[in-house]
Amino acid sequence: MSETVRIDKWLWVVRLYKTRTLAGEACRGGKVKMDGHAIKASKEIKVGDIIEVHLPLVNKTIEVKNLGTNRVSAKLVENLLLDHTPAEEYERVQLMKEFNVERRQRGLGRPTKKDRREIDHLKENN
């Protein structure tokens, strides 16, 4: 196994992006940083590098634990990276999800006309 691998390929291997093209676009868009500087998709990384990745909901800080050239299953991703993302970041994401989703108790069925009016009234006041 080589001692370096391209960042776009590694991000795809560890399942942070669905395709290598999306990983490359994230690099070109400045969403992937190393040492506070945006890096190109062709940047070679090595074991021990710390990378900041800005995903849609969370800003992850990860350390390269091992290099891989083939995409691995989700269970094996923990062998390739160490997640240094603060717990507060995940808590913030959880709060965002809770506030952005309407929830109804299971088994209540569709909202009645009165329920819908109350929901609309609450949305207008926020």
Interatomic CA distance for residues 88 and 119, integer angstroms:
30
How do residues 60-86 score in pLDDT, each as one tens digit? 999 999 998 899 999 999 999 999 999
Residue 92: which pLDDT band, with cuts at 50, 70 and 90? confident
Mind spelling out the 3-state secondary structure of the chain? Answer: CCCCEEHHHHHHHCCCCCCHHHHHHHHHCCCEEECCEECCCCCEECCCCEEEEECCCCEEEEEECCCCCCCCCHHHHHHCEEECCCHHHHHHHHHHHHHHCCCCCCCCCCCCHHHHHHHHHHHHHC
Residue 4 burial (CB count, 10 A): 13
Q: List Cα–Cα distances, 40 to 12, 26, 84, in angstroms.
A: 15, 9, 22
Q: For the segment 48-60, what is each residue's pLDDT rounded down to a tens digit?
A: 999 999 998 889 9
Q: Is CATH 3.40.50.300 what the domain over 5-125 is classified as, yes or no?
A: no
Taking the CB of residue 60, how many other CB atoms lie within 10 A of it?
Answer: 16
Model confidence band, residue 126 (pLDDT cutoffs 50, 70, 90)? low
Domain positions in the chain are 5-125
